[in-house]
Amino acid sequence: MKLPSFLSRQRRAAETKASGFFALTAEGRAHWSSRSYASLSREGFMKNPVAHRAVRMIAEAAASVPWLAYQGEAERPDDPLLSLLSRPNARQAGADFFETLYGHLLLSGNAFVEGVRVGDDLRELHLLRPDRVRIVEGRDGWAEAYEYRVGGHVRRHPADEGQAILHLRLFHPLDDQLGFAPLEAASMALDLSNAAAIWNKALLDNSARPSGALVYQPKEGGNLTPDQYGRLKSELEEGYSGPARAGRPMLLEGGLDWKAMGLSPREMDFVEAKNGAARDIALAFGVPPMLIGIPGDATYANYQEANRAFWRLTVLPLVQRTAAAFAGWFSEGTDDGLRLVPDLDQVSGLADERSELWARVGAAGFLTDEEKRRAVGY
């Protein structure tokens, strides 16, 4: 809020003459961070421990799930596409490739895969950073081309050029081309969590106490001289600020009195607000707060149930939609009916669930061996 000129002059005069310290307050307005890919990456993944851990948990868990290839009902263990997915390019192994892909999806809502072909054979897969890709729309509203910009160099890939670009996107209700990032839904909670950490750090830097005011109250009236004001200010900065000087008693000369002005953490309900923001961030990603160590969450009976819900409700749907997208991309223009499905027998987080399924099917005497094999996914 811009102050009138006469108020500005009075405020400057008060700061220099300092007959006392006072504050002009106005209605505050919250400031929210940008919701671009770069901002969400910096403020979320690179600064916020809850968002960082949630993204790492989902990306690493999803990347650890192996895939099986099927043509119709027949399994194809030696399909060359499985070899390609295990080593997409010379710089990345399969786990690294998919961890980055899922990270792009979680932070941007989009992931772009470029296929490199030699003749008719698909030889390499490369990930394109989402913030460097621009989708060019045609007159009909559909994607006409993908432009990838690095510095001053731009590469253009026509959208109808088969197997050039695979675009994976999460649902966005207001955008026909781009996906919606889970972290964007928790952007307010993210700002609140980061602001709480900054406030706590500032509290330590300022002698672990809330701000206040030194009020000059001489018996016979008068003001501090500019020299007295400067000396007092430098003594406060040098002798009483910083965590190493926390708790040091303050020596006040005659006529000076300390008046606390800030709210304490208890009054601001600091801890609960910080934990509430952390729970909102975890909720946006679909990670049970119990798995991240956020206190106050008792949604699940135990850690094992929370871990099972994490795999069933968050990781596997992401893996299955990715596998379906890759299968459709690989088989585009062909009739081989390729299917890629996650190998649930190799998922450690679902081991107990698979054991229960095997026990139930094994005890079903009315099923033949062939029917039992189909019931467990073979």
More confident of the two residues 249 and 49: 49
pLDDT band with cut points at 50, 70 and 90 for residue 262: low
Q: Are residues 196 and 281 in the same domain?
A: yes
Please indicate, yes or no, whether residues 187 and 324 belong to a single structural domain of this protein: yes
- pLDDT score for 10: 46
95 and 154, same domain (yes or no): yes
Q: What is the pLDDT of residue 23?
A: 39
257 and 276 inside one domain? no
> 172 with 94, same domain?
yes
Question: How many separate domains does the chain show?
Answer: 2
Residue with tokens 């955008």: 175
Residue 287 shares a structural domain with residue 225 = no
Q: Determine the residue type at 231.
A: R
Comparing CA positions, the residue from 146, 140, 143 lying closest to residue 164 is 146
In which domain, by residue range, is 179 found? 34-200+270-346
Q: Any bridge partners for residue 145, and if so which?
A: 136, 158
Same domain, yes or no: 137 and 164: yes
Look up residue 348 and give its two tokens. 């450690």
pLDDT digits (tens, 9 = 90+) for 323-365: 999 988 888 766 677 889 888 888 877 777 777 777 887 778 7
Taking the C-alpha atoms of residue 5 and residue 22, their distance in angstroms, rounded to an integer, is 18
Whether residue 216 is found in the same domain as residue 289:
no
Per the domain annotation, does 149 fall within a domain?
yes
Tell me, yes or no, whether 328 and 228 share the same domain: no
- Tell me how crowded residue 130 is: count the other CB atoms within 10 A of its CB: 22
pLDDT of 106 above 90: yes
Report the predicted TM-score, pTM, of the whole model to 2 decimal places. Answer: 0.74
The answer to the question of residue 237 being in a domain is: yes
Structure confidence by residue, pLDDT tens digits, 291-330 = 888 876 666 668 888 888 899 999 999 999 999 999 888 8
- 56 & 177 share domain: yes
